[in-house]
Structure formats: structure tokens, C-alpha cells
Amino acid sequence: QLTFTSTANGAQIEYRGEVVQVQSASGGALTSTDIFGAGFAGPAHIPVDFGDLGGQTPGSSDGLVGQITVDSGAANPGLTDAEIRFTPDGGGTVSATADDQGRFDLELPDGTFPGVLDITKHYSTASGKIDALDALQVLRISVGLDPTWGPATAENLIAADVNRDGTVNALDALAILQVAVGQPTAHDPEWVFLDENADLSGITKDNVTYQTGVDIVAVDGVINVDMTSILLGNLEAA
């Protein structure tokens, strides 16, 4: 979007009627490579620290995207501050918040209890995982194009539907862009945790439907299960 022109003693950069004159220290002409290097891989801006905005917690862990093991008897990297919920068949839900090592204790009694395990984890602005390039990828998908790396996977489409309305559209791109620049958004991104073996074959950009959580059997208070973790709004790692 910039118009670059080399001049006798530097360069001129124009954008929508605004003109910047760059003077060379040596007095010679400057090329775009002299000023911008190899150029831009995507939208770029000067790094800005927006601090703790929108009620999100920069100090929380970054989390893990992809396969994650949930083990009630060990540390769980990526689950710091996550809420762990277990709903036994025919019973009420019990929950616990993981500590800074991702450890948690649901205080389940001895015995065998089938039920559903679900996890909620909010996004940390300090991680910087969501940026303007994610918004660009979502916008491409919303108009029927592939992301820049190729066809979108089901996991990509789940990550793209950040407002969770079942479709990938420009509103998702807007919400992601708001997060990337530190502005408040009505749809704060979070991790969703799915059954590792969930059938996602029917997901399209116009039909993003899936179930969070996983069916498990807790034995004598012990829970150990593999899940798939997806950060809504973060397409490049999905």
C-alpha cells in the first residue's frame, strides 16, 4: 500500500496523500531494500505493549495447541489457570482450577466413575499467539480462498470461528484483529479442548460444529486422557 520512489538524496514514501521524505546520511539515493530490508511477510506494525487489557491475564501460561495429555496425577504443561470440570454420569459437576504447574485435584472418591471431562482456558495477551496475520487468514477463508499455506483443515476452521456462531466470516476476522491490536472485543479468544478421536470430517467454513470435552472413566480419582487443544483465533498453529 506504500508508494516508494528513490530520489537523488534519499527516498520518498507516499500513502493516501501523506508523504515522507527520507534523507540519506551519505547523500545518495536509497532503495526500498535499504529502508525495508526484504519487505513484509504480512501486515506489520511497531511492537506496542498494551499491558493487561480487556480483563485478560498476561501473566497466565501460553497453553499448548495440538495434542495435550491431561493427567490428574502430574503436572500438565499448558493448563496453568485452566478450569477442569468433570460431570459423572447421573451426577453433579465437580471442578478445580489448575495451579501454575497445571496440576489439579477434583477430589473424586475411590471407585469407577464414567463421565465427561471438559476444560476451559482463557487466552493470555502476553503470549502474542494471535496477530493480524491470523485475521488475514480468516478473511481469506471467509471469501472462499485457502489460507496462504494451502487448504484449511478442520482444526483451522474451528480456530477461525472465534465467535463460535458456526460459520467463518468477516466478523471473526474483525474480532481477531481487535485482539491483535489490544482493543476490546465481544468475543474473547480461548482454548477449546476436544476428544482427540473426534470426527471432524464434516466441518466446512459454513458448518463449524463440534463438541468440546471427552468421555472418560475416572478410576479411584485418577484421570488420564489425551485431548486436542485449539486456540480460537490462532490459525497458523492449528
The secondary structure of 157-188 as a DSSP string is: HHHH-TT-SSS--HHHHHHHHHHHTT---SS-
pLDDT of the residue at 43? 55
Give me the helices (H) in the chain, please.
32-36, 132-142, 154-160, 170-180
pLDDT of the residue at 59? 43
DSSP label at 117?
Answer: E
pLDDT of the residue at 52? 43
Give me the helices (H) in 58-187, please.
132-142, 154-160, 170-180
Please state the separation of Cα 206 from the chain's center in Å.
Answer: 20
Nearest Cα to Cα of residue 190 among 119, 95, 86: 119
pLDDT of the residue at 55? 42
pLDDT of the residue at 71? 93
Q: CA–CA distance from 139 to each of 23, 85, 175, 190, 221 (Å)?
A: 38, 34, 11, 19, 45
pLDDT of the residue at 18? 82
pTM more than 0.75 = no
pLDDT of the residue at 60? 46
Q: 151 in the Ramachandran plot: left (φ > 0), alpha (ψ -120 to 50) or beta?
A: beta
Residue type, 94: V
- For the chain, residues with pLDDT lower than 70 are 38-62, 237-238
Q: CA–CA distance from 27 to each of 20, 22, 109, 171 (Å)?
A: 17, 11, 79, 48
Using CA atoms, how far apart are residues 76 and 18, in angstroms rounded to an integer? 52
Q: What is the pLDDT of residues 148-191, one digit of tens each?
A: 999 999 999 999 999 999 999 999 999 999 998 888 888 888 99
Q: CA–CA distance from 29 to each of 18, 34, 131 (Å)?
A: 20, 10, 34
Residue type, 120: T
